[in-house]
Structure 1
Amino acid sequence: MGLTSNKVLCVAVAFAVLLFIGTVWLWPRLARRNWRAVGGRVGLMLGTQVALFASVGLAANQAFGFYASWADLFGQEKDQGVVVNHTALGGSGGPLEVLNTAGVRGAGDSAPEVGGEIQKVDIVGRTTHIATPAYVYLPPEYFQARYRARTFPATVVLTGYPGTAEALVSKLHYPRTAQELAKDGRMQPMILVMLRPTVAPPRDTECVDVPGGPQTETFFAKDLPDALVAHYRMGRKPGSWGIIGDSTGGYCALKLAMHHPRSYAAAAGLSPYYKAPVDPTTGDLFRGNKALRNRADLWWCLNHLRAPDTSLLVTSSRIGESNYKATLKFIGRVQATKLTRISSIILESGGHNFNTWRREIPATLQWISGRLSDR
């Protein structure tokens, strides 16, 4: 049974309940002062607490998508994402392979021309050789005969770290929200490409081209758009692409649009931060390269580089988000550039979690849709 399985959660909860009942039932028998009774009491209390914490942890992981598997949880997932096989250069499958398809939950009809379609794909970067899974949402119009010659704007959607791409579909409801907004005429039909920025698990590369390591920034700026445009009817011009992310994904989204405005015409960071951290999850990202470290610092970019011709959206909460003051400061810095355009969503309260981001996603999709063209 997988880490995110409902069966695992049910078993953990049932075990915790049984241990609690057993503790209450057996406690009078363990009231003596000999070592066996004391050991029994300690064992029951410890077992009950471990079972309780395990249940809470499993429930939180299901809600927020921190870890995708047991291997991911225990750091046993060592694949650096550089496998090149059936989708390798020159292979018949190209850099993108569709693994399976599914309808959009809640769309009300299984036909893709009515409810849209979600495709699970594998993508291999032609230049970076980074391989990663993703989910691609195709709107109903993509399958309709009257739009068969039309290209569609596209938006890349990134999770936080560690995150799971599936959570963007099942927890944050990006496809369903996009389908409903387009149906109501509040945004144009748009393709969504949903994946996590952790393309070299378990390492958090912060979307940096790591010296001697994964070239993550190049993958998102060049390889990913190239692979998708070659497979889908997506706009090819710079104004056709946007990028959205939460937390780590939000930092990545802002950085990619600022560094590569010809790749991403607009970017939205939901609860982002503005400088790449260096910690045990990232390892040594810069290998002593000061220029690379500066480039990963959005504050330094605003102060020392030419302002990019792109549109940015940042979100925060007055109560519940630690980035609130930094976000206000970032808005002011961008406004001072005169060229880069900045918008914001500031909630009265809301933590760093899925519930907060679900409240921001509809407005974010509408905002980014209004800044992309379909050519």
Structure 2
Amino acid sequence: MGLTSNKVLVMAIVLAVLLFVGTVWQWPRLARGGWRSVTGRVGLLLATQVAVFTCVGIAANQAFGFYASWADLFGRETAQGVVVNYAPGGGRTGPLQVRTAALVQGVDGRRPQTAGQVQKVDIVGRTTHIATPAYVYLPPEYFQPQYRTRTFPASVVLTGYPGTAQALVDKLRYPRTALELAKNGRMQPMILIMLRPTVAPPRDTECMDIPGGPQTETFFAKDLPDAVLTHYRVGRKPGSWGIIGDSTGGYCALKLAMHHPGVYAAGAGLSPYYKAPTDPTTGDLFHGDKKLRNRSDLRWFIKHEAAPDTSLLVTSSKVGESNYKATLKFIDQVRSTNLTRISSIILDSGGHNFNTWRREIPPTLQWMSGRLTER
């Protein structure tokens, strides 16, 4: 059974309840003196606490989508994706392969023409050879005959670290939110490409081209748009593409929009930070390259490099977010430029979690929609 299975959570809860009942039942028998009784009491208490914490951990993982599998949890997910090529006449080949397709959950409609569609895909970078799964949301208009020649704006959507792409669909509800906003005329129909920034698991690459390592920035700036363009009717001009992310994904979204304004016309960071960290999950990102280190610091970049022609959105909370002061400083720095445009969503309170981001996603999608064109 998978880590995110409801059966695993139910079994953990049942085990915790049984241990609790057993502890209460056996406590009188273990109340006597002696090392055996003491050992029994300690063992029961320890087992019960471990079971309770396991329940809380599994429930939290299901709610926030930290890890997708047991291998992901224990750091054993290290293999790159496998490229599958199909013979002529046997199916489509290329850098993007569709694996499954389903209607958007939680909305009315039984056809993609009315309910939209979420496709699970595999993407392989032609230049970086990075392989990663993703989800693609296609709005209802994509399938409607009157729009068969229309191209659509697209936005890449990134999770935090470690994160799961499925959480963007199920927990943060990006497809459902985009569909409802477009239906109500509050945003234009848009294609969403949803994935994690961790495209070389388990390493957190911070969306960088690491010397001698994964070329993650190139993947997001070149390979990913190229792969999507081979398969979907997406606008090809720079004004057609945006990028959104939360936490680590928010940092990546801002950096990619700033470093590659010719690709991404807008970048939105939900609860972002502004400088790539160095810790056990990242390893040595810079390998002594001072220029690479400086460019990864967004505040340094906006101060010392030419201002990029792009639009940025940042979010934070006055209470509950650790990036509040850094966000205000970043806003002031960007406002002092003549070319880069900056917007913000500042909540009175809200933690670094899904509940906060769900409050920020609708206005973020509307903001993004207003800055992208179809072609």
Both proteins in one fold, TM over 0.5: yes
Please give the range of the TM-score, normalised by the shorter of the 2 chains. Answer: over 0.9
Render the CA deviation track for 1:285-338: whole Å, top value 9, x for unaligned.
111111111111101101110000000000000000000000000000000012
C-alpha distance in 1 between matches for 2:83 and 2:333:
42
Q: Give the unaligned 5+ runs of structure 1.
A: none
Conservation of the 8 A alpha-carbon contact between 1:286 and 1:293 = yes
What is the aligned partner in structure 1 of residue 130 from structure 2?
A: 130
Matches within 5 A, 1:325-344: 325-344=325-344
For 1:84 and 1:312, the matched residues in 2 are separated by 35
1:205 pairs with 2:205: yes
SS of 2:157 mapped into structure 1:
strand
- Counterpart check, 1:53 vs 2:68: no
Identity across the alignment (%): 78
Distance 2:334 2:110 in 1: 44
Partner secondary structure for residue 29 of structure 2 = helix
The one-letter code sitting in structure 1 at the alignment partner of 2:123 is I
The C-alpha deviation readout for 1:239-283, integer Å capped at 9, x for no partner, is 000000000000000000000001000010000000000100000
* Counterparts of 2:80 and 2:169, CA distance in 1: 24
Separation of aligned partners in 2, 1:238 and 1:116: 25
Residue of structure 2 in register with 1:115 after alignment = 115
Do 1:319 and 1:348's aligned partners in 2 also have CA atoms closer than 8 Å? Answer: yes
- Residues 222-301 of structure 1: pairs in structure 2 closer than 5 A: 222-301=222-301
Partner of 1:16: 16
Q: Is the 8 A contact 1:87 1:124 kept in 2?
A: no
Structure 1 moving runs of 4+ over 4 Å: none
* Counterpart-to-counterpart distance in 1, 2:80 and 2:317: 35
Structure 2: which amino acid aligns with 1:354?
F
Aligned equivalent of 1:31: 31
Aligned to 1:366: 366
Give SS of 2:56's match: helix
CA deviations 1:87-135 (Å, max 9, x no partner) are: 89xx951000000000001121120000100000000001000000000
- Residue 85 of structure 1 deviates from its aligned partner by 4.2
Distance in 1 (CA, whole Å) between partners of 2:181 and 2:278 is 38
CA distance in 2, matches of 1:119, 1:65: 19
Aligned partner of 2:85 in structure 1 is 86
Q: Distance in 2 between matches of 1:117 and 1:85?
A: 23
Alignment partners' CA distance in 2, 1:4 and 1:106? 20
1:149 deviates by 0.5
Distance, in Å, in 2 between the alignment partners of 1:150 and 1:42 is 68
Distance 2:268 2:61 in 1: 25
How many residues align? The count is 372
Q: Distance in 1 between matches of 2:307 and 2:84?
A: 40
Deviation at 1:80, TM superposition (A): 4.1
Q: Secondary structure at the match of 1:374?
A: coil
Distance in 2 (CA, whole Å) between partners of 1:243 and 1:292 is 22
Which residue in the other structure is 1:214 paired with? Answer: 214
State how far apart, in whole Å, the 2-side matches of 1:357 and 1:328 are. Answer: 18
Instruction: Give 1:231's aligned amino acid.
Output: H
Deviation at 1:36, TM superposition (A): 1.0
Letter in 1 for 2:125: G
Please list the CA deviations of residues 52-102 of structure 1 after superposition, one character each: whole Å capped at 9, or x if unmatched. 000000000000001000001011111145x444289xx951000000000
1:77 and 2:77 matched: yes
Residue in 1 that maps onto 2:319? 319
Distance in 1 (CA, whole Å) between partners of 2:282 and 2:80 is 13
Asked if the contact 1:204–1:281 (Cα under 8 Å) also holds between the matched residues in 2, the reply is yes
SS at match of 1:28: coil
Aligned runs of 1:185-204 on 2, under 5 Å? 185-204=185-204
Contact 1:84 1:129 in 2 (8 A): no
Aligned AA for 2:25?
W
Tell me the TM-score normalised to structure 1 length: 0.98
In 2, distance between residues paired with 1:137 and 1:322? 32
Q: For structure 2, which runs of at least 5 residues remain unmatched after alignment?
A: none
Amino acid at match of 1:321: E
Q: Say if 2:28 is the partner of 1:67.
A: no
Distance 1:213 1:79 in 2: 14
Alpha-carbon distance in structure 1 between the residues aligned to 2:139 and 2:182? 9
Letter in 2 for 1:141: E
- DSSP-derived class of the 1:220 partner: helix
Measured against aligned partners, the alpha-carbon deviations of 1:328-349 in whole angstroms (never above 9, x if no partner) come to: 0000000001210000000000
The residue type equivalent to 1:86 in the other structure is: N
Give the root-mean-square deviation of aligned CA atoms: 1.2
The one-character-per-residue Cα deviations of 1:29-67 (angstroms, maximum 9, x if unpaired) are: 100111111111000000000000000000000000010
One-letter amino acid of the structure 1 residue matched with residue 112 of structure 2 = P
Question: Residue in 2 aligned with 1:158?
Answer: 158
Q: Contact 1:96–1:122 at 8 Å: present in 2 too? A: yes
Is 1:168 paired with 2:168?
yes
2: CA distance, partners of 1:38 / 1:201: 44
